[in-house]
């Protein structure tokens, strides 16, 4: 088994669901941290989901992010299975940045 630390970043420039991280096949992704930063001076909300095949699971639904604030979404690690997709959606374009810290186990 190999352990690799990595990160995934997204500047949410649209209000479409944006793929933040996709777990590779034969890999387990352990999300250690998800930081969301609001950089426009306007409060906003973010939605976070996991997609497994055609099924979508909601982790955070319209989570509030204060103006010029940074919020840590996780209080414990989040385990993702092979091919699962972590997606983020901003309520308003061009306000939020997201950074996830990830441990990949192959």
pTM, full prediction: 0.94
Q: How far apart are CA 72 and CA 63, in angstroms?
A: 11
**pLDDT per position as a tens digit, 19-30:** 999 999 999 999
Spell out where 1-106 has E strands: 3-12, 18-22, 28-38, 44-52, 55-65, 70-72, 78-80, 85-90, 96-105
For the chain, domains (ranges, CATH) are 3-105 (2.60.120.340)
**pLDDT per position as a tens digit, 3-61:** 999 999 999 999 999 999 999 999 999 999 999 999 999 999 999 999 999 999 999 99
């Amino acid at each position: 088994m190999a352990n690799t630390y990595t990160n995934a970043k997204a500047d949410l420039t649209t209000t479409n669901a944006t793929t933040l991280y996709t777990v590779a096949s034969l890999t387990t992704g352990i999300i250690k941290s998800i930081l969301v930063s609001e950089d426009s001076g306007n409060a906003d909300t973010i939605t976070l989901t996991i997609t497994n095949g055609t099924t979508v699971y909601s982790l955070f639904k319209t989570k509030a992010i204060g103006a010029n604030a940074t919020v840590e979404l996780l209080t414990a690690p989040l385990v993702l299975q092979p091919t699962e997709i972590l997606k983020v959606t901003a309520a308003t374009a061009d306000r939020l940045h997201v950074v996830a810290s990830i441990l990949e186990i192959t």
